[in-house]
Amino acid sequence: MSARGAIGLEPLDLDRHLELLHAWVTHPRSVYWQMQDASLEDVHAEYAAIAANPHHEARIGTVDGAPAFLVERYDPAHSELAGHLAPTDGDVGMHVLVAPLATGAEPVAGHTDAIFAAVMAWLFEDPAVTRVVVEPDARNEAIRAKNVAAGFVELQEIELPTKTAMLSTCSREAFAASSLGVEQSGGARALV
């Protein structure tokens, strides 16, 4: 992977991160987050609710200490996926949003792959986690391809309240054998 720098995670601090988070989730590239018209207050309310939920958390990811992505970890059994997925012990749900590039910035080859692989490795650092579950918008071909590259198996389209989603799961073994997992274990920087 060509991404440079240490990849880390820190708790989401709405007082400090709200404007940045708002800019990310309302960016045209983030259309599948369904917050295009959200105000600062809307974003604050959404992430305050996540912070108050014992089954859901959000963190800011950094590259060399600079905010670069958002990651959410949740319990699928206590989410809108309940009833759509046969839960197993060790399930964890994940959302990841890589920050849109600043105007005029050049993309860095491997940047998104490095972040995605580091997030997956972080989730699997917990020995209780055996499977990661995702439910991207079925129309979001880019993230679906990234999921498959990380070892996810697309199970089926499901109807959720705000979208038709592609329910997908990834075992620890499938991630380790995937192209992103192999690169992660082969020397890519893990979350610090």
Q: Are 26 and 35 in contact (CB under 8 A)?
A: yes
Q: How many domains does the chain have?
A: 1
Q: CA 69, CA 21: separation in Å to the nearest integer?
A: 9
Q: Rounded mean pLDDT of the chain? A: 90
Q: How many CB atoms lie within 10 A of CB 85?
A: 20
Domain presence at residue 1: no
Cα four-point dihedral sign 22, 131, 6, 147: negative
Give the model confidence (pLDDT) of 27-74 as tens digits: 999 999 999 999 999 999 999 999 999 999 999 999 999 999 999 999
- Judge whether 96 lies within some domain: yes
- Summarize the confidence of residues 77-85 as an average pLDDT: 93
Structural domain contains residue 190 = no
Is residue 17 a contact partner of residue 9, using CB atoms and an 8 Å limit? no
Residue 4 structure tokens: 């440079």
Asked whether residue 30 is assigned to any structural domain, the reply reads yes
For residue 191, being part of any structural domain is answered with: no
- Cβ burial, residue 96 (10 Å; 0-12/13-18/19+): buried
pLDDT class of 1 with cuts at 50, 70, 90: very low
- Domain span at residue 97 reads 7-185
**β-strand 131-134 against 163-171: which pairing, if any?**
antiparallel
Q: Please check whether residue 92 lies inside any domain of the structure.
A: yes
Of the candidates 135, 124, 126, 111, the one whose C-alpha atom is nearest the C-alpha of residue 61 is: 111
CATH of the domain at 87: 3.40.630.30
Q: Are 41 and 53 in contact (CB under 8 A)?
A: no
Q: Which of 66-70, 124-128, 147-151, 178-182 has the lowest mean pLDDT?
A: 178-182
For residue 166, tell me if it sits in a domain: yes
Residue 56 lies in a domain: yes
Tell me the pTM.
Answer: 0.90
Neighbouring CB atoms inside 10 A of 178's CB total 20
Please report which confidence band the pLDDT of residue 185 belongs to, taking 50, 70 and 90 as the band edges.
Answer: low
Q: Kindly report the CA angle at 135 between 17 and 153, in degrees rounded to 5?
A: 125
